[in-house]
Chain A
């Protein structure tokens, strides 16, 4: 079974702190994703990465950065946390669609990190 793990289930930080959210997958997937989920807004893509050291902005990248130094690990960084970044953060991974006929492939999600910024 594919396993995607996230470093914390719950996290409480203060405004202005630097926050690191870690995600690890064990299936050698090329793609990794960070989403945030808020009531009434569904899942929104923050950043994704299709290879080590490669990244692309999603729909809401402002206030976030990412790092992918190893294939299995994708980190989301909040440089200076703000209260409007209080949310559920979900990490996902998938094999490259380019190796499966060009269409998007199944994404496997972690359990999520509920971040509260005070």
Chain B
């Protein structure tokens, strides 16, 4: 199963765009890339998933270059409520297992 590496923590201010990059050098052909968000005292929740190029939803955008060895989660105009831990995961084909790393702790300041 592909391992992911992402920064331990990031700081930002309200209204800024935040980009969190994750590397997954040994991603397999059939693997999807998924990001989860976790607030304190809650379980993680799904944010976005993609396979290649760009995916956008109401919460975030996900950019995946052609070689798929990394991906970037983009949060537009963050607010204080975006303070959370963000996990990058690479899914394993046909096993239903996900491997969560330690995540990136995003702190948004006023």
Contact = CB atoms under 8 A, between A and B. Distances in A.
Interface string B28-51: 001110100000011111100100
Contacts of B46: 106-108
Contacts of B49: 106
- Bin the interface of chain A by size: 20 to 34
Interface stretch (B52-60, B66-74, B76-84, B93-101): B93-101
A111 interface: yes
B101 to A, nearest CB: 5
Interface residues of B, number: 25
Interface centre among B42, B44, B87, B94 (most CB of A within 10 A): B44
A107 B42 CA distance: 14
A104 B43 contact: no
Contacts of A102: 30, 93-94
Given A104-B91, A105-B96, A111-B41, 4 more contacts: A42-B101, A102-B93, A106-B49, A109-B42
